[in-house]
Amino acid sequence: MTTTYRNLIGADWKAAASGATFTSVSPANHEEVIGEFPSSGPADVEAAVDAARAAFPAWSAMPAPKRGEILFRVARILAERKEELSRLMTREMGKVLPEARGDVQEAIDVAYYMAGEGRRLFGTTVPSEMPDKFAMAIRRPIGVAGIITPWNFPVAIPAWKLFPALICGNTAVIKPASDTPACVVRFVELLREGGIPDGVVNVVIGSGTEVGNAIVDHPDVKLISFTGHTDTGIEISSRAAKTLKRVSLELGGKNPIVVWEDADLDLALDSVVWSAFGTSGQRCTAASRLIVHRAIHDDFVHRLRQRVATLVLGDGLDEQTDVGPVINAGAVERIASYAAIGRQEADLVIGGEAATDGALAKGSFFQPTIFTEVKPDARIAQEEIFGPVTSVIPVDDWDETVRIVNSVKYGLSTSLFTRDINLAFRSIRDFDSGLGYVNHGTIGAEAHLPFGGTKATGNGHREVGQAALDFFSEWKSVYIDYSGKLQRAQIDTTFVDEERT
Ligand code: NAP
């Protein structure tokens, strides 16, 4: 029996207005159908935006601490259903079960954090430059938020966007990636179980061009929060400019781990394997460049090869599996084409092919792949491959290392393994990225610090932590004059000075 999924419009789960559907299969086994989903279009977006607009007055008027109480209940329900949601995620997009649990845990953490923000949502109070006048800035809700999410963190990323949007008093229309709509539908069902009212969160499933464009173009959608490819982000940003929308973009990465000659190599190896091959390398923060000091290069690459050779590929629900499938057959082709480029540009250490042994042939698998002697300007060292492929770049000195770290167009996450405290601090100062790690891989962000990157990784906004509130709220500066007379700011300064003397 195939499960039929629907859009959420206001209080109702509905088929696409056109009746069109598409079927999604598990990347670990293409014979396993995840479900049948609506292939929606602009008419469905119109209905969802109407529902979100209708829900806005009551939701935005609800005191923020009360909205926080609802998010607190949501957090508890997500924690209770963590296993169910994690298993669905592994089936739908392939990441191994412990990582899927981590994905759901991120959503739980953000729900608790944003629930607490309901009692803060700090503004600013400052002394006025005039006597008998009060000055403050408060946060205001904006309206309907359009949320467009990728498939690689199918619960965490919707949570990163929805929870700050909701705590600030906005309502939302979310379009999940076409590869992971089931996770978002189940996630939103749990939000409603926690008490999120009808119309506050709406779901429209369908393609980027049909549904995504309609959300971006809609005049009543006031802000767009998007995570995905840099090219898609640029397209969205240009379209959204026509209706003067506020747009937050979280885009690609080409993240380096620098392993210095004095590093704890065992620790560095553990971290590299986790950062480069976890989620089959399909993380925006994946370590796709390893910048390794020449003095330890041969030893490091030899040991890394040995470690990677023992990684077990398979279905993410199987406890023995270290590395799950990549998202779909198209991804296998894209990664294979980069492996072919890599063979021309560098030395292949291990991997380099689709994995098709036994049961793997039923799904979309790619061998964990390492290249070495990679030139910093090689395509495999510059372009986001988004698969289990990493490039080793040998280096001799620190200045060269900084230049190579910063030589890519992205700036999401950087990491350095060293025992030298001076180099540790220099890396934080000199590596151009939104996230910086020392003696830790390129992944592992926590819910209460800002997340995002520099350069082509985004457009300057940050997700989660308090920083997310700046995107999802509008500042209003408020002046209350209780002097009982006309006081002209910037003009009556002489009068103020005279009064003082
Ligand atoms: P994607 O192809 O850009 O898709 C992301 C979302 O945008 C999907 O929902 C997609 O819909 C939709 N979309 C596609 N074209 C669109 C358009 N023209 N207008 C509006 N929406 C459109 O990216 P992806 O393959 O899902 O995700 C991988 C990328 O995300 C990588 O580059 C990765 O680095 C990046 N990422 C960044 C972060 C970060 O925080 N910086 C985090 C995670 C991932 P369909 O699925 O229907 O095509």
Q: What is the pLDDT along the chain (501 residues), one digit of tens a residue?
A: 789 999 999 999 999 999 999 999 999 999 999 999 999 999 999 999 999 999 999 999 999 999 999 999 999 999 999 999 999 999 999 999 999 999 999 999 999 999 999 999 999 999 999 999 999 999 999 999 999 999 999 999 999 999 999 999 999 999 999 999 999 999 999 999 999 999 999 999 999 999 999 999 999 999 999 999 999 999 999 999 999 999 999 999 999 999 999 999 999 999 999 999 999 999 999 999 999 999 999 999 999 999 999 999 999 999 999 999 999 999 999 999 999 999 999 999 999 999 999 999 999 999 999 999 999 999 999 999 999 999 999 999 999 999 999 999 999 999 999 999 999 999 999 999 999 999 999 999 999 999 999 999 999 999 999 999 999 999 999 999 999 999 999 998 765 556 555
Alpha carbon 172 to its chain centroid, in Å, reads 17
Q: Whose CA is nearest to atom 14 of ligand 1?
A: 208
**What 3-state DSSP class applies to 430?**
helix
446 is catalytic: no
Point out the ligand 1 atom lying closest to the alpha carbon of residue 250.
41
Helix (H) or strand (E) holding 455: strand 454-455
Q: DSSP state, 361?
A: G
Helices (H), 81-229: 82-93, 97-117, 156-167, 181-193, 213-217
- Give tens-digit pLDDT for 131-173: 999 999 999 999 999 999 999 999 999 999 999 999 999 999 9
Whether the CB of 255 sits within 6 Å of ligand 1: no
CB atoms within 10 A of CB 320: 8
* CA distance linking residue 204 with residue 16, whole number of Å: 9
> Residues with Cβ < 8 Å from 5, sequence gap 6 or more?
35, 36, 37, 38, 181, 182, 185, 205
Whether the CB of 208 sits within 6 Å of ligand 1: yes
Q: How far is the CA of 414 from the centre of ligand 1 (A)?
A: 22
Tokens 């189940």 belong to which residue? Answer: 186
Q: How far is the CA of 157 from the centre of ligand 1 (A)?
A: 11
For residue 81, which of 3, 194, 174, 165 has the smallest C-alpha distance? 194
Whether pTM exceeds 0.95: yes
Determine the pLDDT at residue 420: 98
Contact 288, 255 (CB under 8 A): yes
Dig out the tokens for 22 from the structure.
């598409």
The helix-helix angle for 64-80 and 181-193 (nearest 10°) equals: 120
Determine the pLDDT at residue 493: 76
Q: Which residue out of 106, 117, 210, 250 is catalytically annotated?
A: 250
Dig out the tokens for 279 from the structure.
């989620």
Q: Which residue out of 106, 284, 384, 463 is catalytically annotated?
A: 284
Determine the pLDDT at residue 397: 97
Helix (H) or strand (E) holding 38: strand 29-38
Whether the CB of 233 sits within 6 Å of ligand 1: no
* CA distance linking residue 307 with residue 310, whole number of Å: 6
Q: Report the DSSP beta bridge partners of residue 173.
A: 146, 202
For residue 74, which of 187, 227, 219 has the smallest C-alpha distance? 187
168 is catalytic: no
